A and B are shown apart, each in its own frame.
Chain A
Amino acid sequence: MSNVDRREFLKLVGAGGVGVGAGFMLAESAKHPLEHLIPYAVPPEEFSSGVATWYNSVCGMCPAGCGISVRTREGRAKKIEGNPSHPVSQGRLCALGQAGLQVLYNPDRLSSPLLLDGASGSFRPATWVEGVDKVAGALSSARNVVVLSRGIRGHLAQIFERFAGSLSSANLLQYDFAHEDALYVGNRESFGIDRLPYYDIANTRYLVSFGADYLNGWISPVHHSLGFGTSRQGGHDRGYFVQVEPRMSVSGASADRWVPANPGTEGLLALGIAQQIVAMGGYSGADRDAWTSTLAPYDIASVSQRTGVNDDIVRQIAEGFMHTRPGLAITGGAATRHVNGVNTAIAVNTLNYIAGNVGIEGGILFNPAAPLATTGEENRGAYESLANLVTHAENGSIDALLVYDTDPVFTMPADSGFREALEKIPFVASLSSFMDETTAMADVVLPSHTYLESWGDDVPEPGVGFSVGAVSQPVVAPLYNTQAVGDTLIAIAAHMGHSDAIPWASTEECIKDGWRQVHAQGGSGDFDAFWRSLLQAGVYGRNIRDTRAVSLDPTVVAGMDANEPTFSGNAATYPFTLHPYTSMRMHDGRGANLPWMLELPDAMTSVVYSSWVEINPVTAEELGVRQGDVVEISSEHGSVTAPVYVYPAIMPDVVAMPVGQGHSKLGRYAKNRGSNPLSIVAAQTDAKSGSLAWAATRVSVAPTGQRAKLVTMSGESRELGRNIVQTTGGAAGSAGHSAKLNSIPIKVEAV
């Protein structure tokens, strides 16, 4: 060591020091991080750490009203399942329902009241006292107030009604983009019923769906999927499924027969099938002659020519529908969003009526009155009522708008002028839970609890054929400084000096009070026991059915000759029909801020995280575009861009786009992702229902020269000889016994 000089020595000391330090830090980093063990100060009665507590409630993610069971631990919701005793969901749940947790825990949830700071134009957090004071102040001096919300069902609707009643002049308006207005009006005109009937898919043997994607989002997807499974594999004769639509949906892909028909002609086809059935002697009512003459214009040749469906196919469906009992025809989705939407609904009702499917199991069953006194459907407004709101706002006759959990700025077409109208309203307050496009334009935001933190009750719509009501209860304590929407309305009314207008101190009391009445009409035992068991079950039913006999008058159909769909935009400049479609993933756009929904591959294209436009391969070749080429889709009212997805199962003159993305707000996951086809549709309505004809716009498609990487889960949608999709021929059994099967049986029975 004698050759270690001073310099070398210092080096070694340095190296040793660094080593010791590094070793120390290494040991430090290998240690378990400090964790806390925090007990309750006073634990809730049923609490047991480490043991899950389940609560039954109602899904709030779409208006179907499935029953849920939520697993909670240590006061946190962990997993949502279906409530097995709820007749709508029967223990099942759709993906959007599962993602309810991501609404609850969403990092972009509004966590406290916000006030718009006039000078900076941005929001600043405020207290509830400040916020309520501001809203109450603005409402007291307003002459005309509009309370705009999503559809409010159950007793909560009474708080809304009484709140509006306490103001000098207020309109209640409930708007959901996906609400099937045309079906309601169609049912009223055909049968004189106000609620949706029960579509008994489970027991049907022959289903013809005119555009209703009942497996992927249409009105009650969980229940209809269950029904589909039962009809197919329920141990009786297998049901046969026909899907009529210009673009193959999930239901189309699951059907036995997919029939592309010109957009908007679905009703014509239904009447054509009905005409055939009458002609073949399948209808024996006393008014047979009247029907024969009423349906005469829908002879097979003209229907086939107008719908683009081969006459053989029309005949085959007519025969199948007539001879396979029971049968069921349904319609909805884009098919009822044409200018003749109600006519289509009536046409499909007619087909059911002619084929004898009304009021029978496996067909249409009417829903009896709910056990609850109110269903809340009474204040429903179609698109037209929002268009009226625009007119009134523009001429300055609306002073204040209260909006809750509906986002018309996103779902209304730009052409409707809603955004501009909103800017003209002097005072806007939002009670929504997220900073969506509409809330972003508010002056005051008083954020509400999510459905997992609130009290409520519900009458599922469509019902299930007997009398059902359900209760939703908070499954966790509120995460943030938010309030139940009903409590906020009560607080505002009280602040304005109208505390006697709403007789309940809280939403919970209102709901409980409503169920006291239900209990008084035949609940067993004392109310507290009834309430306890009601909350445990989550659902309450009475075996009451609506067996009224209805008849459909031929004059209803005779009066609707203007059946031909019309489109906005001329065919020369805008050669394609835009077919926007909704899905269970995004619903009306509310799924776009939920990462689970974004990363869930679309069921048909397997695209994740973005929007796309589906184009037929032939059309794509004509346009000179390939998969992933970004194209501009333009209507007379604007344009959006999206990458091409080459989709063989779409008519060549139709282009389809999924609804739900293309948000400019709604939080980090939704913002600036994808594009919104609704923004370019024309603001034209179906005159009979006043609903937006969002499937009746023509567009042009032009390449932009750019490319985008479409993230798909399937590398190639064609089979390319890999024999990965095995099918049986159309004529079952004709392949005979000599065909080689690649399947492997579980066991072979000894003969």
Chain B
Amino acid sequence: MVLVALAGMVVGYWANAAFFPGTSPQQPIDFSHKVHAGDNEIPCQYCHVQARRSVSAGVPSVNKCMGCHLEVATDRPQVRLLTNYWESGEPVPWIKVHDLPDFVHFTHKRHVAAGIECQTCHGAVESMDVVSREAPVKMGLCLACHRENEVEHGTDCWTCHK
């Protein structure tokens, strides 16, 4: 009976991971990276301006979005949602897709400066309507890349865990 229960646990765990991966949460606005970064070829750092300057890439402020959307595609329902936020002066409560644990110190600035493509960690965002976590951003990925590029102190514990 214990065996049956254990087997059940494995099935349950797998079912959760397979059908409810939680890697592409429902966002407050159905924003499509494919439309922006893919079809219209807007460079990543046009919106995520902080990536080259800061530890975090940052999400664009509402007024940045409105910079275009005061003029562009103003009649689309999802853009209307955005306009509502803007008019009420509220930020859009986006949900994080890519998130590292608090014990990992990661800085965008250094990686952008080293010429690492955004897609290396974030996947081919420009082809996704709904962004999901595709690349396995775990310690293995970091270490493999650090080793391959012979990063100085790249495999020291305190390089990332500090």
Interface residues of A (CB under 8 A from B): 11-12, 15-28, 31-32, 34-43, 48-51
Contact = CB atoms under 8 A, between A and B. Distances in A.
Contacts of B5: 15-16, 18-19, 22
Contacts of B73: none
A36 B94 contact: yes
10 smallest A-B Cβ distances: which pairs?
Answer: A19-B8, A23-B12, A23-B9, A50-B54, A50-B56, A27-B16, A19-B5, A20-B12, A24-B12, A23-B13
A48 B50 contact: yes
Nearest to B22: A31
Nearest to A26: B13
Contacts of B99: 32, 35
A729 to B, nearest CB: 45
Interface residues of B, number: 43
Contacts of B13: 23-24, 26-27
A345 B128 CA distance: 78
Nearest to B89: A41
Contacts of B43: none
A15 B2 CA distance: 7
Contacts of A26: 9, 12-13
A37 B15 contact: no
15 contacts: A15-B2, A16-B7, A18-B5, A19-B6, A23-B11, A24-B13, A24-B16, A26-B12, A27-B12, A32-B101, A39-B58, A40-B61, A41-B91, A48-B58, A50-B108
Given A19-B8, A32-B101, 16 more contacts: A15-B5, A16-B4, A16-B5, A19-B10, A20-B15, A23-B12, A28-B16, A31-B22, A32-B22, A34-B95, A34-B96, A42-B62, A42-B63, A49-B50, A49-B54, A50-B55
Interface of B: 1-2, 4-17, 20, 22, 25, 50, 53-56, 58-63, 85-86, 89-96, 99, 101, 108
A18 to B, nearest CB: 6
A733 B62 CA distance: 73
A51 B91 CA distance: 20
A117 to B, nearest CB: 34
A159 to B, nearest CB: 31
A12 B25 CA distance: 36
A148 B102 CA distance: 47
A214 B132 CA distance: 60
Contacts, number: 122
B2 to A, nearest CB: 7
B7 A27 contact: no
Contacts of A31: 22
B4 A15 contact: yes
A219 to B, nearest CB: 39
Contact of A48 (B1, B16, B54, B86): B54
B95 A19 contact: no
A494 to B, nearest CB: 27
Contacts of A39: 58-62, 91-92, 94
B9 A20 contact: yes
For B12, B20, B89, B90, the residue with the greatest tally of chain A CB atoms inside 10 Å of its CB is B12
A36 B1 contact: no
Given A11-B1, A41-B90, A18 B8 contact: yes
A338 to B, nearest CB: 53
Contact of B16 (A23, A37, A41, A50): A23
A146 to B, nearest CB: 42
B91 A40 contact: yes
Contacts of A42: 61-63
A25 B11 CA distance: 12
Nearest to B11: A20
Contacts of A17: 8
Contact of B53 (A16, A22, A41, A51): A51
Contacts of A24: 12-13, 15-16
A48 B54 CA distance: 7
Contacts of B20: 28
Contacts of B16: 23-24, 27-28
For B25, B89, B91, B95, the residue with the greatest tally of chain A CB atoms inside 10 Å of its CB is B91
B53 A20 contact: no
Contacts of B15: 20, 23-24
Contacts of B63: 41-43
A41 B94 contact: no
A164 to B, nearest CB: 39
Contacts of B54: 48-51
For B53, B56, B101, the residue with the greatest tally of chain A CB atoms inside 10 Å of its CB is B56
A243 B34 CA distance: 75
Contacts of A12: 1, 4
Contacts of B56: 49-50
A36 B20 CA distance: 19
B7 A34 contact: no
Contacts of B55: 50-51
Contact of A34 (B25, B89, B90): B25
Contacts of B61: 39-43
A304 B155 CA distance: 70
B7 A51 contact: no
Contacts of B50: 48-51
B38 to A, nearest CB: 21
B94 A37 contact: yes
A45 to B, nearest CB: 12
For A22, A36, A39, A43, the residue with the greatest tally of chain B CB atoms inside 10 Å of its CB is A39
A43 B86 CA distance: 13
B96 to A, nearest CB: 4
Contact of A19 (B12, B62, B85, B108): B12
Contacts of A16: 4-5, 7-8
B95 A36 contact: yes
A48 B53 contact: yes
A23 B13 CA distance: 4
Nearest to A8: B1
Contacts of B96: 34-37
A23 B10 contact: yes
B79 to A, nearest CB: 16
A359 B8 CA distance: 87
Nearest to B55: A50
A137 B8 CA distance: 71
A704 to B, nearest CB: 48
Nearest to A23: B12
Nearest to A24: B12
B125 to A, nearest CB: 15
Nearest to A43: B61
A17 B1 CA distance: 11
A681 B118 CA distance: 69
B93 A38 contact: yes
Contacts of B22: 31-32
Contact of B17 (A19, A27, A32, A37): A27
Nearest to B54: A50
A24 to B, nearest CB: 4
B87 to A, nearest CB: 10
B8 A20 contact: yes
A165 B54 CA distance: 51
Contacts of B10: 19, 23
A42 B86 CA distance: 9
B139 to A, nearest CB: 15
A700 B54 CA distance: 63
A41 B4 CA distance: 53
A249 to B, nearest CB: 39
A35 B56 CA distance: 15
Nearest to A36: B93
A25 B7 CA distance: 15
B50 to A, nearest CB: 5
B82 to A, nearest CB: 11
A24 B5 CA distance: 12
A41 B9 contact: no
A23 B54 CA distance: 39
Contact of B86 (A21, A22, A27, A41): A41
B60 to A, nearest CB: 6
A50 B12 contact: no
